Amino acid sequence: MKNIDVNTISETIAEMCIEANHFLTDDMRGAFNDAARTEESPIGRRVLGQLQENLKIAGEDMIPICQDTGMAVVFMEIGQDVHFEGGNLEDAVNEGVRRGYVGGFLRKSVVGDPIERKNTGDNTPAIIHYSIVPGDEVKITVAPKGFGSENMSRVFMLKPADGIEGVKNAIITAVKDAGPNACPPMVVGVGIGGTFEKCAFLAKKALTRPVNIPSDIPYVRELEKELLEKINKSGIGPGGLGGTKTALAVNINTYPTHIAGLPVAVNICCHVNRHSVRVL
């Protein structure tokens, strides 16, 4: 049994919130550089060049990559042989988000009630997803999610008869409807299967998979490749101004589902696809 003080969780998450809002992960940086090098449209190349300059300034001057520093989404994969001490885990996660956003001078974008709209002042509460896994480690993923792209996400409750072609059409429809509003080049997270809420979770989690690592399921891997090609032929392009790099990646997660259903969720993320991962 490993004992972890919850203050360690708070300190770690605070650091991760700041890190994710200022620096791209290595896989995202590589994909972005590849897009800038291979974009065929002159205006698309210009947009990507400006975005690269923005990333450079953000890292050097510790200015957030984007003014929308997002709502903090936290995935906690907790080893079943871990024991937390010193307080409540969920309070500790939210304390970490509070420290990161207040201490890191990141924009506070969370309102305490969806109708009354009063800002909480510290970007809490976070959206927290827990899973229990074997072992004595805790894997934390912090993914600040801006709402320009979040608002463009969709859930489709397809019929089984719609099949794979229906899935493809749903994903392409979501991307085309998003257009420039999702700040392309985008990363497209897709969840297929489960239930209404499970497919949305799968799509969100898919955004945290490195964009240079395809699915290990053969047909899903081919589907990711096919959809990326089709999306990049849509002509939306960087910034929505036209070009051949509308998306940097399509990441798909699947899960068993009911005999009467075929749920599909599309969670789109902007060109930075911010996330930070640590293991304790």
pLDDT in tens, 238-271: 999 999 999 999 999 999 999 999 999 999 999 8
CB 36 within 8 A of CB 50: no
Instruction: Specify the pLDDT at position 161.
Output: 98
As given in the structure block, the two tokens for residue 55 are 């990333």
Domain ranges of the chain: 2-20+65-145, 148-273
Cα(131)–Cα(255) distance, integer angstroms: 15
Dump pLDDT digits (tens) for 69-101.
Answer: 999 999 999 999 999 999 999 999 999 999 999
Instruction: Specify the pLDDT at position 165.
Output: 97
Q: Please, which pLDDT band fits residue 168 given cuts at 50, 70 and 90?
A: very high
Look at the block and give the residue holding tokens 């009630």: 113
As given in the structure block, the two tokens for residue 86 are 């010193």
Dump pLDDT digits (tens) for 4-42.
Answer: 999 999 999 999 999 999 999 999 999 999 999 999 999
Cα(26)–Cα(34) distance, integer angstroms: 12
In sequence order, what E strands does 82-204 have?
82-85, 127-133, 138-145, 154-158, 186-194
Instruction: Specify the pLDDT at position 39.
Output: 95
As given in the structure block, the two tokens for residue 54 are 């923005």
Q: How many CB atoms lie within 10 A of CB 130?
A: 12
Taking alpha carbons only, the member of 250, 184, 254 closest to residue 223 is 250
Taking alpha carbons only, the member of 72, 148, 76 closest to residue 106 is 72
Rg (CA), the chain: 19
Tell me what the pLDDT averaged over the chain comes to.
96
- 82-85 vs 2-5, strand pairing mode: parallel
Dump pLDDT digits (tens) for 43-77.
Answer: 999 999 999 999 999 999 999 999 999 999 999 99
In sequence order, what E strands does 62-150 have?
71-79, 82-85, 127-133, 138-145
Instruction: Specify the pLDDT at position 108.
Output: 97
CB 203 within 8 A of CB 216: no
**Identity at 273, one-letter amino acid code:** N
φ, ψ for residue 36, nearest 5 deg:
-65, -35
Q: Is the peptide bond before 185 cis (omega within 30 degrees of 0)?
A: yes
As given in the structure block, the two tokens for residue 124 are 């809490």
Name the pTM for this structure.
0.95
Name the burial class of residue 86, with classes exposed (0-12), middle (13-18) and buried (19+) by CB atoms within 10 angstroms of its CB.
middle
